[in-house]
Structure 1
Amino acid sequence: MSSRNLIASIPVVTRLYCPKGLAMDLIKNSDTDDPSTNSNYELLNSAYVWQNGNVTNVEEDLEKGGSGYKSEEFSDQSTMNFLFFFYDAFKAEGDEQINLFLQIYEEYNELSQTYFKQSRWPAPEVVSHYFSNQDSHHLFLVLYKELYYRHIHTSFEPTFQERLSSFENYCNFFHCILSSKEAIKLELPHAWLWDIIDEFLYQFRSFSRRSKELNLDQDGTTCTSLSPQQWNVHIVLNVLHSLVEKSNINAQLQAYREGQDHQHVEAVAGGCGSLMLYKMLGYFSLIGLCRVHCLLGDYHQALNLLENVEINRKISAINSLLVLSLQLSS
């Protein structure tokens, strides 16, 4: 699906790993030949993946140049282990899943510092090859791409195409969240959810500045004219507003301010807003909207968006931290 179709499918609200070194070992029993449906499907210290009806050893496949991919794509065994564990986390639920994703997010940051200071993570098409027939393939790949392009923006100068590909991937992610008939039951850590919104806005600003600097591409065509829908401010605003509306976060915050009990807040939240994924994305989108309107110079609207956020309490906490830091430094 093209980014334009993805954008059109989002409801319009406004115009304006376990310990390191683990990988998946597919253990089959007599009941089924598909390890992914087996109750004995466990995490062990090896590198196998269920692919096209066969158990494939990824290390051997890479060494032999299987499927056209070179072993250099995976700089270390830890990278493969990380990817297998990342995918397997989608099979967990509730607190178990959020704990797994918290470990994965921490591991991603550590591996980025250890192995990918001077190089990119494995390309998404390489990673996709080994999980192409899995049920959770799409969402797994979307989240992997989010980390992949974020690392590029953090550590390198992204190409124009990489900036556009990152935008399209964000559209894919928000499309999954906003357009699903049923609420997505995905438990991501709050820090990861915040970083998704924060990085989405950072890349929007970065693209806006960069597209002004790059007047012409190699073909002599104006860069911005190639993709008028990509990183458009109205699309960014629409996504953030849609997340706020989907989560009913304003109604929830108002109920909290009025001192309503938990049952009332849950009733106000609705089916999606009661899930932490939607609730926190909605809350962080409020902050994101405030930031965007400040960039646009509309400070009045920026303050209006925070009407239900208890700013005084947060300012008090920030002031306390500043006082404490001054005392420690003196």
Structure 2
Amino acid sequence: MKVLIAGGAGFIGSTVASACADSGITPVILDNLATGRREFTEGRIFYEGDICDGALLGRIFAEHPDIRTAIDCAALIVVPDSVANPLAYYRENVSKGIQFLEHLVRSGCRNLLFSSSASIYQADPEDFSVDEDSPVETLSPYARTKALFETILRDVAASGALEVVSLRYFNPIGADPALRSGLQIRTPTHALGKMIDVHHAREPFSLTGTDYPTRDGSGIRDYVHVWDLATAHVRAIERFEAITREEPYRVVNLGTGRGTTVRELLAAFESVTGVPLPVVETVRRPGDSAGAYARADLAGELLGWKAEYSLEDGIRDSLRWYARRDEVIGADG
């Protein structure tokens, strides 16, 4: 079995590719390397190019006619950047995505797993948990691109052209446990990545936003290990026909079911490292929300999946990857 992974040279896409390969599914990688890494494609079938390149997609399907499922991990994902440059986000995440769908339909690839985001949710103000039917409230251009593209996918699936499973990721942390890949961006914008950077630089951590209506004023998130996310994709590929048998468009949350505030993440980080991390409290970032965590029962029902790795596991694997990153992608990568 083969699967096309668009964005398969990025952090999540490359980890999904590894999980597929470990399960006997051959990944075929398509990535323009705007943020992905060529090193993450080593030993795999790899095509460098854009998801809107019809000629390239035609070549991929001609050379691999046994591809039946595509995974769309190709997107820009940084919330503050989307606020500063919304046109780029709508172009990359929506416009090019529509062209990708057209190429899939033309090539006869009917099954699509879409990398969506929990950033689209309006959280329950009582406990910040959300399920797949929770209301949508998009607070950034990035989140709006994900919500808009889900609407497009729902309409395309209703037409009979595709069958789609939208996997709404919560907050990925960690790395491939075998350290084949990990977070490749050297200036991460998420909380754990920043903690790791300032921990090694011996600088204080900037806690952005301390006035949210959470239990300690900091944002709340559902930190899910990237390997757990990757194995959920494998389960979705294996069960795709059963998942979409009654409904051609399904949404599934991928989270741990546990909410962790940034202050609690900080305490867990200090527990793992054994070193206190000084904190400077600052204002919220543009586009940020109080956050949410998953009610993930549907993932168990449809995928036979639940998150296995702990928050501390994710922190440890993130630190292990940080220590090895330069060996994999080079000090100047």
TM-score (norm 1): 0.25
Structure number with larger C-alpha Rg = 1
Q: Please state which structure has a larger fraction of its residues in strand.
A: 2
